Amino acid sequence: MYYQQPDGVSVHDGFPNPAADGSLQPLSLNQLLIKNPVSTYFVRAGQDILIIDRSLTPHPTDTVIWTQHDRMSSSVHTQVPEGAELWGVVTARITQYRWRNS
């Protein structure tokens, strides 16, 4: 069960009451994971989906996507090879554990 105490603290305990479905807030992955919709792209990397924001300036520890010789790759920003063109900053990674046809 989910409820909010008067002091603003959210409490999750026990099994949810089916009649109380209206009290749950909807979860939006767009709101949680995308800060700049116009400059955000999704790229598949193996079984993962990378969310990339092209408007961000990378920090040294950020994972970034870069291109060189018509190939895209990812690495920590400080390990981008010389001459490579920075394409965007990876802001999230979604891992699929089960495929639709499984």
* pLDDT score, position 98: 80
99 DSSP 8-state letter? -
* pLDDT score, position 47: 86
Q: Is the model's pLDDT at 68 over the cut of 70?
A: yes
Q: Is the model's pLDDT at 5 over the cut of 70?
A: no
* pLDDT score, position 88: 97
Cα-based torsion angle of the residue sequence 53, 56, 58, 59 in order, rounded to the nearest 10 degrees: -120
Domain 26-95 coded CATH 3.40.720.10? no
- The pLDDT tens digits of the residues spanning 9-61 come to 666 666 666 666 566 677 888 988 999 999 999 999 988 999 999 999 999 99
Q: Decide which of 19 and 97 is more confident.
A: 97
The arithmetic mean of pLDDT across residues 68-83, rounded, is 94
Which sign does the torsion angle of CA 36, 37, 40, 44 carry? positive
Q: Is the model's pLDDT at 101 over the cut of 60?
A: yes
For the chain, which residues make up each domain, given as ranges? 26-95
CA distance 49 to 55: 19
